Amino acid sequence: MHRKTRFWSVFAVVGIMGMVLAGGSISHTMQVIKKVPTTHKVVALTFDDGPHPKITPTLLAVLKEKDVKATFFVLGENAEKFPAALKSIADAGEEVANHGYSHKFSRQLSDNDFIKDVSRAEEAIARIAPRPTLYRPPGGGYTDRRVMDLKQRGYTTVLWTVDTRDWDGRSSNDIVNNVLSNVKPGDIVLLHEGDFAAATPAAVAIIIDKLREKGYSFVTVGQLLQYYELRE
């Protein structure tokens, strides 16, 4: 009896692994997404901490001019403060995602308070934009339990591959060079909205042009997940 049970347990695990490796529908829901393994030269630009009354319109103008769609990880409190800016993101066809309500780091919240924070942000966002299905924890901190709690609420947890550190007051050239030196197919690039990210819109315009010269195209995180595939 034990051998038979063990056999079917192994069989189930192998089956799940096979689906993950084959790029099946469960693959990106079984883990935290930092990038997508793909041979296609696609990159997702992501913007945290918005919306922002000044940076958001400038970013949207750049993205529209370059014909690029991106993913905006929105703070619930900023969605409430600047609803017009959030509406402009949604109306532009950009992907709106959840970044929590007040940018509290994971270690600052109990498990129950964490879910309340996510839910509060979700409610604020959903008043104006489609209900988000992607979540990025402030600072990138997470636990397995919280990833599973998020999954049960219909969320995929998304981190990043390339941290531009634009939140650190870096120049446009520094931001651009960071991305160009590190980006690879399937990567997720972390950028920000905020007074501290004044150089970001100009950097984004250059990043788009330079990566296109290298054969890259730009997708939202949701679109990037569709590229999940075996490495060749």
Token digits of residue 156: 């995929």
For the chain, the farthest-separated pair of C-alpha atoms sits apart, in whole angstroms, at 66
Task: Please tell me the number of Cα atoms within 13 Å of 226 on its side-chain side.
Answer: 5
Tell me: cis bond preceding 51? Omega within 30 of 0 counts: yes
Q: Could you tell me which of 154, 159, 135, 36 has the C-alpha nearest to residue 76?
A: 135
Radius of gyration of the chain (CA): 19
Token digits of residue 70: 């991106």
Active site residue 28: no
Active site residue 192: yes
The single residue of 149, 187, 192, 195 carrying the catalytic annotation is 192
The single residue of 2, 40, 48, 103 carrying the catalytic annotation is 48
Query: Rounded CA gap, 32 and 190, in Å?
Result: 15
Catalytic center residues: 48, 192
